[in-house]
Amino acid sequence: MSAVLESPAAPSLSAAKTEKFVMTSGPDFHSHPTYFRERQQAAWEKFTQLPMPARTDETWRFADVKALDLSPFHRAQELGEAERSALLFRSTGLAETSGRMVFGNDRLLAQEFHGDSLRAKGVLWLPIEQAIATQREIIEKHFMREGAILGSQKFAALHESQVRNGTFLYVPRGVEIALPVECFHWSQGEGSAIFPHTIVIAEANSKVTLVDYFGSACDEPGLSVGANDIIVGDGAKVTYVAVQQFNTKSLAFRINNTVVARDAAALALVLNLGGRYVRSEAISHLRGPGGRSDMLSISATEGTQIVDQRTLQIHEAPNTASDLLYKNSLNDQSRAIFTGLIRVEPDAHKTDAYQKVRNLLLTDEAEANSAPGLEIEADDVRCTHGATSGQVDIEELFYLLSRGIPLRSAQRLVVFGFLNEVTERLPNEAICELLRDRLHAKLG
Amino acid sequence: MSLEIKNLHARVASTGAEILRGLNLTIEKGKVHAIMGPNGSGKSTLSKVLGGHPDYEVTEGEVLLDGVNVLGMAPDERSRAGVFLAFQYPMEIPGVSNANFIRAALQARLPEGEELEATDYYARLYEKMDMLEMDRKFTARSVNEGFSGGEKKRNEILQMLMLEPKYAILDETDSGLDIDALKIVSNGVNAMRSPERGFLVITHYQRLLDYIVPDVVHVLVGGRIEHTGGKELALELEAKGYDWIKDDIAAAASA
């Protein structure tokens, strides 16, 4: 790995290239408490020491590591009054929610409570900046404790060293929040880098749904290096939805760790519509018996967009289930990369694990590389995995044409249907409707 | 006013095998024509060629819809011009709800910029579904996905009722139907019979024609109409099979 740094040709992050991120300088720098700043300092050192990913790294297989150049980016600047109001206006999602948070360039622009559900019974819903200051115990216990083990250690270290804000949601034991919580993360300005973090801690038998929206407020390239910690306690249920609509010049990383305890259930669905290069790493730890994790993703790409997804389903306890379904529709010269692993540890008997990736190639130039995998050390398990790539079925198309639907609409309808099968797995009709609307808008 | 098929020759695009060999048939508005014929005679090919399926190439002949040649039209244009094809094996379209599918088909018939009115649409859809004794759950389900054979055929007729074509071609609509479903489907078709609409009913069995009573029955053999008669011809075919027609053809050829 260290060879990368020594090689002058490699896209290493030299001190000169990264000084824009140096955390101790700059008049706008925030002031987290000392305990956290020490962590950030250590993370920064780790970031500067770790090499940039190399083409030869197994975890970056198929990826174009040249796309990872961070040198054009700098910490996002505070926005002016007009920009802030414009972003608040644009932050529209579901008709009914229990609350909304809006961030622009990692600064909190608004936090609204709709109804009393989030203020009742000890729910803590805070901007992370505030949680770091007031909830040290929880932050120390859960904030990025699982590690970025799918290749993005360097970007995880960058995130940790730079994180300023995001959403912190702590739901106490037995509390159920019926309506989703929404959080908008905007990036604005050429070369702006944001580091959004989402942390959800659902204590035993609680229930909550969180929707994150990621977007660019401008057409210039930006960088987002984000991370999630989703901690699902015994018998709790967490539904997490991310709608990623950065502009197609932007670079986006997301490292997601989900920890599922006994009889708990996590369901995550990511809709990837934007980004020039999007790298997503999703790890589900099935840590308690009876736990279940559903990992869903929809990507609709065009132009030269690249969506690069790496996943890990770790079954650490018996009687656990995980079900991954990723679907990509690839137009023009866009690409989808997937490597995934189901790992069943020695004691995790009666594991039920699925992994399915399906690519719909809409042109001859679109490309999909998928490498599903299994690593099983327990007995009596049921695991299946598979990846398929194909084109729009001629007979399906002819059927739609024979009803008078014009070719372009018919193709869109088939693509939409293909992707929509994933939203059907989400047990929330309002969110499904929102995802379908965004998909329709992207497919034209 | 008619759908006029003149000297139609068509072959399989990939192999060049000729299936239709000079087929002539005129379906007048207000009439129900039935085509019967043995397996491999070209019945399903005819419906696909009329629909414009890319697997087939027309090498000779014309198909005139009220005087306009449809062979130069794309499949979707033919549909909008008034030709409807009820499929023998309707396709499943995963992830697309039945209601949205039919809505897209109706929307495609509206002028640019005009939107289908949702309330009226659903009122009409439900009315037609009730006629076909289809449960409301079929609006939200993906097109034909997980439908039984009979449900798929009802869904074809539902689309026909909604799209109100000038000419409807029903390809083996009776296959896979039990007697109750057959009656329901036939009622749907009979409700559509009008002086403004012509039907071509393609079937292997006479049974369907007890319920959708044809005005004219044709026998298709070897890619050509070899015999034409009234509705009693269907009963004759049921009783005697197709061999006597084949024998007639052989006799005529050797004469």
Q: Which CATH architecture has domain B2-91+165-254?
A: 3-Layer(aba) Sandwich (3.40)
pLDDT value of residue B142: 96
Quick check: A19 pLDDT over 60? no
Residue A207 has pLDDT above 90, yes or no: yes
- Give the Cα separation of A250 and A242 in Å (integer): 17
Structure confidence by residue, pLDDT tens digits, A26-44: 333 467 999 999 999 999 9
Which pLDDT does position A31 carry in this prediction?
A: 78
DSSP code of residue A58: G
Based on the fold, state whether residues A405 and A271 are members of the same structural domain.
no
Chain B (27-56) residues lying within 8 Å, Cβ to Cβ, of chain A: 51-54
Is A305 a domain residue? Answer: no
Q: Is A392 an 8 Å CB contact of chain B?
A: no
Read off the pLDDT of each residue in B203-217 and give the average, rounded to a whole number.
92
For all residues of chain A together, what is the average pLDDT?
Answer: 92
Residues paired with residue A209 on neighbouring β-strands, in sequence order? A239
pLDDT computed for residue B249 by the predictor? 81
Residue B2 identity: S
Q: CA of B105: how far to CAs of B35, B82, B127, B136, in Å?
A: 27, 12, 18, 19
The three-state secondary structure class of A269 is strand
Is-contact A153 A189, C-beta < 8 A?
no
Task: Report the percentage of chain A scoring pLDDT > 70.
Answer: 93
Q: Residue A12 above 80 pLDDT?
A: no
Q: CA A223 to CA A225: how far, in whole Å?
A: 7
Asked if A134 and A266 sit in the same domain, the reply is yes
Chain A residue with Cα closest to B81: A404
Q: Does A12 touch chain B (CB under 8 A)?
A: no
CB contact under 8 A, B95 and A421: yes
Among partner residues A394, A401, A418, which is closest to B76 by beta-carbon distance? A401
The candidate with the shortest Cα–Cα distance to A281, out of A320, A242, A332, is A242
Domain definitions of chain B by residue range? 2-91+165-254
Q: What is d(CA A286, CA A344) in angstroms, rounded to the nearest whole number?
A: 10
Domain boundary among A253, A288, A323: A288
Structure tokens at A107: 């600064």
Read off the pLDDT of each residue in B84-111 and give the average, rounded to a whole number: 96
pLDDT in tens, A229-277: 999 999 999 999 999 999 999 999 999 999 999 999 999 999 999 999 9
- Inform me whether the C-beta atom of residue A414 falls under 8 Å from chain B C-beta atoms: yes
The answer to whether B60 and B7 are in contact (CB under 8 A) is yes
Question: Is residue A251 situated within a structural domain?
Answer: yes
Using pLDDT thresholds of 50, 70 and 90, give the confidence band for residue B127: very high
Return d(Cα A251, Cα A225) in angstroms, integer: 8
Tell me the β-bridge partners of A231.
A201, A259
Q: Do A405 and B93 touch (CB under 8 A)?
A: no
Is residue A2 scored above 50 in pLDDT? no
Neighbours of A360 (CB within 10 A): 23
CB contact under 8 A, A413 and B101: yes
CB pairs under 8 A between A and B: 82
CB contact under 8 A, A404 and B76: yes
Q: Domain of A404?
A: 392-444
User: What is the domain count for chain A?
Assistant: 2
ipTM of the complex: 0.96
Check pLDDT > 70 for residue A6.
no
Backbone phi, psi, residue A312, to 5°: -145, 125
A74-97 pLDDT, tens digit per residue, is 999 999 999 999 999 999 999 999
DSSP category for residue A334: -
Instruction: Name the one residue in this structure whose structure tokens are 């502009």.
Output: A247
B93 and chain A: CB distance < 8 Å anywhere? yes
- pLDDT for B238 equals 85
In the structure, what pLDDT confidence band is assigned to residue B246 with cuts at 50, 70 and 90? confident
pLDDT at residue B218 tops 50: yes
Whether the predicted pLDDT of A174 surpasses 90: yes
Residue pLDDT, tens place only, B174-199: 888 888 889 998 999 999 999 999 99
* pLDDT confidence tier of residue A1, bands split at 50, 70 and 90: very low
Among A255, A270, A288, the domain-final residue is: A288
Structural domain ending residue among the three candidates A246, A266, A288: A288
Q: Distance between CA A90 and CA B104 in Å, rounded?
A: 30
| The pLDDT of residue A24 is above 50 | no
Q: Picking from B102-111, B193-202, B246-255, which range would have the lowest pLDDT averaged per residue?
A: B246-255
Contacts of B123 by beta carbon, 8 Å cutoff, 6+ apart:
none
In chain B, which residues have their Cβ closer than 8 Å to the Cβ of A403? 76, 79, 101-102, 104-105, 108, 159, 163
Each residue of B153-164: pLDDT tens digit? Answer: 999 999 999 999
| Residue range A389-444, pLDDT digits in tens | 999 999 999 999 999 999 999 999 999 999 999 999 999 999 999 999 999 999 98
In this structure, the number of other CB atoms found within 10 A of the CB of residue A228 comes to: 23
Average pLDDT of the residues in A161-169: 95
3-class DSSP state of A339: strand
In which residue are the tokens 């053999």 written? B221
Closest residue of chain B to A407, computed from CA coordinates: B76
Of A399, A401, A417, nearest to B95 by CB-CB distance is A417
Model confidence at A13, in pLDDT bands (50, 70, 90)? very low
Once rounded to an integer, what is the mean pLDDT over residues B92-113?
Answer: 96
Q: What is the pLDDT of residues B7-17, one digit of tens each?
A: 999 999 999 99
pLDDT for A30 equals: 60
Q: Are A217 and A87 in contact (CB under 8 A)?
A: yes
Q: Chain A closest CA to B82's CA: distance in Å?
A: 9
